[in-house]
Amino acid sequence: MSRDPDNNQTLIAATNGPVVEADSTGLVLRLSDRVIRDIARRLPRPPFGTPAVPAGEPAALVPAERLDAGLLGDIDAWDLQREGDWLRFVAHRPGAEGARRYRRHVAGGGVIAETPGPVLGLLSLGAGRRLTTFAGAPCFPHHVMACAPPDEGEPDLPVTGWRNRGADTMLADALLSLRHEAYRALPLIVAMPMPLPLGPLPSAAGPAMAGLDDQLRRLEELAGSLGKPARLACIGIEIGHDQAPVTAARFHADALAFMDLIAARLAPDLGTPRFLMVADAGPWWANDADANRAAIEGQHLLALRPGLHDLTVVAPSYMFAQDDLGQPTEAALLDRARIEAEALETLLRRKPWTCPILCLAERDDRRLRAVFKADGPLAIDASDPFGAGPAAGFALAGTAAGISGVEIAPDDPQSVLIHLDGPLEPLAGAQPRLDYAVGGPARGRGAAHPPACGALRDQWSLNRDGGTLRRWALPGSLVIR
């Protein structure tokens, strides 16, 4: 169904998506899983002797064949059975899972844990910094899997394990850790990182979209072979400086078209697409002021006006440390995964996740007032952990005036007062703008954070592994009213 609002109108909507929609052919009613199960119970039962299994569970039609667990090799396993194309067994395996029932495809590949519920996909699209990886298997090596195309000369297997850790496998680990600590069900998660080329966002005919289609097909085939539905837990996108935007407006339009393109390729059974995004502040060596501004202003527009899409910006990238090449460090990727997992769990509880975002910049006597949307009171962190400077990341553009001081407004804990050192008069042909974490001169080698950074946050915190994670304000820029 088209997602064009002129051709597809939502008549009734709930927090998890449209309930009643209309298009040129009529009405579409989306029923809950509970209603579908109730309808199934009311339908006539099949004749006695007909296998009462849902379509898509062919393995259940084949009687289990007991085998010698020694066929699995020298591992601590027992109760080996073959059911269709799968070997099922109980084993004590490495990782946090411990002793439980597992399965492996008869053709080989990864050992996966027996899990309840649908097979969850974590899809992400980004360029170099999104795809940074480190050696080592996931903490839940049999719950975090891959179903990617094989390398040249390798067999094409339905599911394989991971031999490295990246943003998506770390996010899956973080989600599973939250559930494991709370003694909740541990789902099977398929991490699906997809590379984006440097430059403009891809079109429908490009290799990136062909790779996306293939990855989604493989996810659904894996779930079908297990007799389970497939669902997309979220779609992570990291777009910004790597797309070399020319103007903020063009970047915003291209990003919306790109998200439309992704959403149109998803089968309805995969669920309503939920986009998660980390606001890209660029690397420490970013030195093209015009491109930096276009990227940050464009992402700010996208966060404020995401169109028809369910988009949540979970964090700004300036909070995550970088190495000498501008890539995130392993500790930074772990922190990022924890933030993303907390955001996703919050959204699944149907609660908002809102990083402070600049919504209005206006004159207030001889000062400026910056109004933010946030989940709670704001704070200017006195420790300035990213080196934003005395203005906490705020700056003026299009005027000769400067900033002499910043403070949280006494009459509104979600506003910042910006004191000026002179009259706010525009430069020739320019409109004065208020910037937050838009950037400055490129930093030298060894800088852990980019010049586009700030010191404004809300009161949320997470204590993990002896450190404290905060929810920092997103980069942005607005014309001063």
Q: Which residue did the predictor score with more confidence, 17 or 438?
A: 438
How many Cα atoms sit within 13 Å of 217 on the Cβ side?
7
Residue-wise pLDDT for 94-129, tens only, equals: 877 778 899 999 999 999 999 999 999 999 998 877
Q: Is the confidence at residue 45, as pLDDT, over 70?
A: no
What was the pLDDT predicted at 470?
A: 97
Inter-residue contact 269 to 305 (CB < 8 Å): no
Of the candidate ranges 25-34, 108-117, 226-235, 455-464, the one whose mean pLDDT is the lowest = 25-34
The residues pairing with 27 across neighbouring beta strands, listed in sequence order, are 22
Q: What is the mean pLDDT of residues 69-81?
A: 88
pLDDT tens digit string along 164-183?
999 999 999 999 999 999 99
60 has a pLDDT exceeding 90:
no
Better-predicted residue by pLDDT, 430 or 362: 362
Q: What is the model's pLDDT at position 50?
A: 39
- Whole-prediction pTM: 0.84
Cα(275)–Cα(314) distance, integer angstroms: 10
Q: Which domains does the chain have, with CATH numbers?
A: 9-42 (no CATH), 58-92 (no CATH), 112-348 (3.40.50.1110), 357-479 (2.60.40)
Distance of CA 16 to the CA centre of its chain: 17
Confidence of residue 439 (pLDDT cuts 50, 70, 90): confident
- Asked if residues 236 and 122 have their Cβ atoms less than 8 Å apart, the reply is yes
Interatomic CA distance for residues 251 and 246, integer angstroms: 7
* Lowest mean per-residue pLDDT among 60-74, 75-89, 118-132, 177-191: 60-74
pLDDT of residue 67: 87
Q: Which of the residue ranges 180-189, 287-296, 450-459 would you say has the lowest mean pLDDT?
A: 287-296
Residue 24 has a pLDDT of 67
More confident of the two residues 22 and 38 = 22
53 band by pLDDT with thresholds 50, 70 and 90:
very low
For the chain, the average pLDDT equals: 87
Helices 330-348 & 167-181 angle (0-180, nearest 10): 60
The rounded distance, in Å, linking the Cα atoms of 72 and 80 is 9
Question: Residue 63: pLDDT above 90?
Answer: no
pLDDT higher than 80, residue 427: yes
21 has pLDDT over 80: no
pLDDT band at 433; cut points 50, 70, 90? very high
Q: Rank 66-70, 151-155, 257-261, 266-270 by mean pLDDT and report only the highest.
A: 257-261
- pLDDT for 200 equals 85
Amino acid at 377: P
Average pLDDT over residues 400-416: 96
Question: Which pLDDT does position 280 carry in this prediction?
Answer: 92
For 95, half-sphere exposure in the C-beta direction (CA atoms, 13 angstrom radius) is 24
Q: How many CB atoms lie within 10 A of CB 244?
A: 14
Of the two residues 470 and 325, the one the predictor is more confident about is 470
